[in-house]
Amino acid sequence: GGSQLAARLASTMRCSCSLLLLLGSALRASSFSVPCHAAASGRPAAATSRGTVSLADVGAASTAFYTDEVRKESYPSMADVLDAKVADPDLRRLMLTLFGTFATVSAALRAELVVKAEEQKSVFGDVQLGVDVLADQLLWDVCRSEPLIKTGSSEEAPDVREMHAGGRFCLCWDPLDGSAIVDNNWAVGTIIGIWPAATGVIGATGRDQVASMVANYGPRTTAFATLDDGVYEFTLGVGGADGWLCSRERVRISPQSRIFSPANLRTARHELPGYGELIDFWLDQRYTLRFCGGLVPDIPHHPRD
């Protein structure tokens, strides 16, 4: 019914927001805010610093995630890092399983043609691609086979399904964020929020989560995951490794940023004129646009160690 659909939509929103919560309270980055004097007037502030902003401040060198990264002599495996950084053995086991699912989805994206799914099951009227359905099915398979999972819920369906009555965790996911840009052969991703069975997903908040995981399928396959002491990035199949290596530790969003990643620009002139003014402010201040068209591939534009 309508109430169930509304609840599912709310849960889906929380799942999508989990990738933002994944990077912690540093989401109050300046790239998403307007200075007080601009907000108070209801208008963007004048671009008084145009003449003093150096090209280094707005060029790729200041906005690339890996610009300052220096190769290390060795990188720990994902399993070793989870052993050291996830105290709960059940959660650690679940996350290991989900990393395996990410690897399977990554391989499928390289092996499958991008075509319309033979059977369209979206209750929201969205056209589903075969890779959408495949990624979603793989996550439902995890829910069915893993007794630690109490409930599962997907962006592709309007309900929360009980999987194992004695399970400790509730999963909510977007199986393939960015499927609208998969035709372009651009990066897409999977978003997963993990909640304790005590809260479930309906009515819970992002802060109730026990973990969040986001996989990014591009030229490389990477994943961000929240561990006990922060956010870590893992990379699949690099450096001669068969599995995942920990490529970055304790990733955080920079408190200062010179880039912006706007979405839904069609609303900026008519439905949400304040949004249009904010975009004008970013442009007047010579912020750099970095926008991939998907939520997951835009994450690495913003973090810093």
pLDDT in tens, 37-47: 333 333 333 33
Question: By C-alpha distance, which of 150, 138, 154 is closest to 97?
Answer: 138
pLDDT in tens, 157-175: 879 999 999 999 999 999 9
Q: Between residues 297 and 118, which one has the greater pLDDT?
A: 297
Q: What is the DSSP letter of 165?
A: T
Torsion of CA 121, 126, 128, 129, to 10 degrees: 180
Which run of H or of E encompasses 67? Answer: none
Interhelix angle 78-85/89-111, rounded to 10 degrees, is 150
Asked if the model's pLDDT at residue 6 lies above 90, the reply is: no
Percentage, residues of the chain above pLDDT 70 = 71
Asked if the model's pLDDT at residue 289 lies above 60, the reply is: yes
DSSP-assigned letters across all residues of 10-65: HHHHHHHHHHHHTTGGGG--GGG---HHHHHHTSPPP-TTGGG--HHHHSGGGT-T
Asked if the model's pLDDT at residue 25 lies above 60, the reply is: no
Least confident of 91-100, 137-146, 149-158: 149-158
Q: What is the pLDDT of residue 127?
A: 58
Average pLDDT on 132-141 reads 92
In whole angstroms, what is the distance from residue 244 CA to residue 223 CA? 9
Q: Between residues 52 and 161, which one has the greater pLDDT?
A: 161
Torsion of CA 267, 59, 185, 152, to 10 degrees: -60
The pLDDT mean for the chain works out to 78
Q: What is the pLDDT of residue 29?
A: 32
pTM to 2 decimal places = 0.76
